[in-house]
Amino acid sequence: MKQIKRELSLITIISLIMTFCLSSFASAQPMSSATSYILLYVDKTEAFLNDKKVTLESPATIIKDKMFVPAKFLGDVMGLKVEWNAATRQIEMTTPGYHIVLDSDHKSVWINGVLEPFDSVASISKEGKLLIKLTWLADYMGARYTYNDELRRVEIVHTVTPAGTYIPDTGNSKPVAKFAFGKSTYQLGEPVKYIDLSYDPDSEGIAKYEWKGNEETFFTAGTFPVTLTVWDKHGNQSETYLRYITIEDKTYLNAIEYPIYMKPVGAHIKTDWSMIWGNFWSLPQLPKKVATDDTRKLLVSDSPEEFKQRGILYQDKVNGKGRLYADHINGTQEKVTLAILARNNSDRAITIKTTNKGEVFPSVYANLIGNEASVDFLMNDPRNETLVVPAKQTFVYSQMPEFYPGQGVNLFYDVETDGEIEFSFVATDRITEQTLQQLPLLPFSGHVRGSFPVSEVRWDIDASAFYEPSRIIIGDGQTDPFQPGYDTMRKENVLNEGNYGVVYKIHAVKPRKMAIMIMPHGGVFKGPFKINGEMQLVPQSGVLTAFDGMQILAKTTGTEESLDIEFTPPAGSAFPIDLIFYPLADDKQIVTGN
């Protein structure tokens, strides 16, 4: 029977200690100096803590003329650290300056390694709770007490003293972790401000931070723990500092709005199909007024996109303003030269003036070459390059470095001629007049090829007074029609599917406060946008894929006179794409810059 009672008592102690540990963890944080005043009555569960009445699980009691008090209650009040060691089946207690181990199996207690009898310091109440001898607990916890025999009452005064940071063995101090919140409560989806107050008493700075629970924002109401631990440059670790943040059940921003408001221009917003379908798939389109510029003839050499033999890729004449656009891959087994030849069939010299260009050296990265050439072209750096072609002569207008198998190139040139020039896009191993006469016209292979009257599209959009997310679509062939043209080599009418080589100029007067984002629909996308004169790469690195994400292109404040977006479809990218215009509330914080 005694053995059974002893086992039951031990189980009770273990249960108590586990409760103790969980309670200690939940409230663990550095304490300021504070004094607790405790009144306990012998054999009564009624007690007082700082004049507040409490009910104990077990009362204080006298055993063999010694006062024993409830361990859990006083441990909570005094900050006594208690842990159950499952491997050794021992209770470990830590007080300022002392390490205490209670072994109920062997009825022993070790205090800083010195053995004492278990019964001299601990007992089990009839309720099965752990009791500790008051004189022993007071000595090790630094408490003062008096016993009033007439009232059968114990008065205990305990002052918690914060642990020091100085480490005598090293002559250095531990750093101190500390932080505050910007305000007492936050709403759902409201950005949380964390104010770091950590410091190193030795003035050597903080070398490392470890936060836990410090979310940018919270989308669930409640109270949540946030902790911070810091280290100095010597590896000394602070105590872990804990505060609780309170989130009200009121919405500031929802989960869809938050990244749009809080991520900077240029940032990527990850999406999935359900998010797109529920929030962005069927947005209304902003009204737009469309105008086209047919003063500059566009020659597009893109088919065969991948040529398998040497020859003439495309050929047509320009008299006045023209744009030369080429996008090709070397599909032969040999290195070749890609060049644009200028033939003057007239009886007088003709001058070719280059006013803008975008070009990239041969590369195996299809998306890269389209992006780089588009950036170069949209920068529109002032140029005044001229080439005079004598009568009845053929000159090389442009020539690329050696073009190896599998590599691609993308070229843009805006030209102005004072007479008719025949431009030929050729792939060959040598460039001579005789070579040009002998090169075959390469057959069409299904990509864009032809000459197109329109090289610029202008959209005036109304972005001043809309109140729900809206969009404009680029490259769908319907709301944004593909420009018609003529293939001089096949002698057929064609469409510029994708409008490659066309520059879009999108203009809005007095735009409202909003975010502008790009969302690809057709597949892989990589290309630049010029926003009010500033280049924005999409994405900053890598590629943007359909339905996996959006990128923030710009944010307006509602005070701008205008918004101007310039864009040209980059080679190697798929269409259509959406430009999403997302209205922003005036009373909400936003993040703008890159």
Q: What would the two tokens of residue 5 be?
A: 């009672």
Tens of pLDDT, residue by residue over 150-201, are: 889 988 888 766 666 777 777 788 999 999 999 999 999 999 999 999 999 9
Pick 166 or 2 by higher pLDDT.
Answer: 166
5-14, 50-59, 101-110, 188-197: least confident range: 5-14
- Whether 223 and 101 map to the same domain: the answer is no
580 SS3 class: strand
**Whether the predicted pLDDT of 10 surpasses 60:** no
**Burial letters for 448-475: b for 16+ Cβ neighbours within 10 Å, e otherwise?**
bbbbbebbbbebebebeebeebbbbbbb
The range of the structural domain enclosing residue 411 comes to 303-447
Whether residue 522 is contained in a domain is answered as yes
For residue 585, what are its two tokens? 């509330």
From the list 373, 378, 341, the residue with the least C-alpha distance to 358 is: 373
Q: What is the pLDDT averaged over residues 99-125?
A: 79
Look at 164 and 440; give whichever has higher pLDDT: 440
Tell whether 419 and 467 lie within a shared domain: no
Q: Is 79 in the same domain as 150?
A: yes
* pLDDT tens-digit readout, 363-372: 888 778 889 9
Q: What is the pLDDT of residue 18?
A: 37
Q: Are residues 308 and 438 in the same domain?
A: yes
- Averaged confidence pLDDT in the chain: 87
CATH number at residue 220: 2.60.40.10
Residue 481 DSSP one-character state: P
**Vertex 73: Cα angle to 72 and 78 (nearest 5):** 95
- The answer as to whether 487 is a domain residue is yes
Whether the predicted pLDDT of 99 surpasses 80: no
pLDDT band of residue 97 (cuts 50, 70, 90) is low
Same domain, 204 and 137: no
Q: Tell me, what's the pLDDT at 228? A: 97
Q: What are phi and psi of 15, to 5 degrees?
A: -60, -40
- Which of 136, 159, 182 is the last residue before a domain boundary? 159
Give the rounded percent of residues in the chain with a pLDDT score beyond 90.
Answer: 61
Q: Is residue 24 part of a domain?
A: no
Residue 426: CATH number of its domain: 2.60.120
Which of 159, 178, 211 terminates a domain? The answer is 159
* Gap between the Cα atoms of 424 and 345, Å rounded: 13
- pLDDT of 283 > 70? The answer is yes
Residue 132 near residue 121, CB atoms below 8 Å: yes
Same domain, 285 and 196: no
Whether 200 is in a domain gets the answer yes
Same-domain check for residues 127 and 241: no
Residue 16 is assigned to a structural domain of this protein: no
Tell me the per-residue pLDDT of 485-532, one tens digit each, with 9 for 90 and over.
999 999 999 999 999 999 999 999 999 999 999 999 889 999 999 999
Three-class SS state of 117: strand
Tokens of 50: 């700082």
Q: Of the residues 396, 417, 447, which one is the last residue of a structural domain?
A: 447
Cα(36)–Cα(143) distance, integer angstroms:
10
244 and 361 housed in the same domain: no
- The confidence score (pLDDT) of residue 163 equals 64
Q: What is the pLDDT of residue 162?
A: 63
Q: Say yes or no to pLDDT of 416 above 90.
A: yes
Quote the distance between the C-alpha of residue 357 and its chain's center: 35
Indicate whether 263 and 211 sit together in one domain: no
Same domain, 495 and 542: yes
Is 19 among the domain residues? no
d(CA 460, CA 463): 9
H or E element in which residue 496 lies: strand 492-496
CB 261 within 8 A of CB 279: no
d(CA 565, CA 358): 18
Q: How far apart are CA 432 and CA 10, in angstroms?
A: 101
Determine what percent of the chain is predicted with pLDDT higher than 70: 91
* Over residues 404-432, mean pLDDT: 93
pTM, full prediction: 0.72
Q: Give dist(CA 383, CA 398) in Å, integer.
A: 15
| Confidence category of residue 441, pLDDT binned at 50, 70, 90 | very high
What pLDDT band is residue 438 in, cutting at 50, 70 and 90? confident
Considering the domain architecture, whether residues 334 and 430 belong to the same structural domain is answered as yes
Least confident interval from 59-63, 94-98, 247-251, 470-474: 94-98
Spatial distance between the Cα atoms of 358 and 454, rounded to a whole number of angstroms: 19
Q: What's the pLDDT at 166?
A: 73
Flag whether 20 is in a domain.
no
Pair (419, 540) in one structural domain: no
Q: How many domains does the chain have?
A: 4
pLDDT tens digits, residue range 504-515? 999 999 999 999
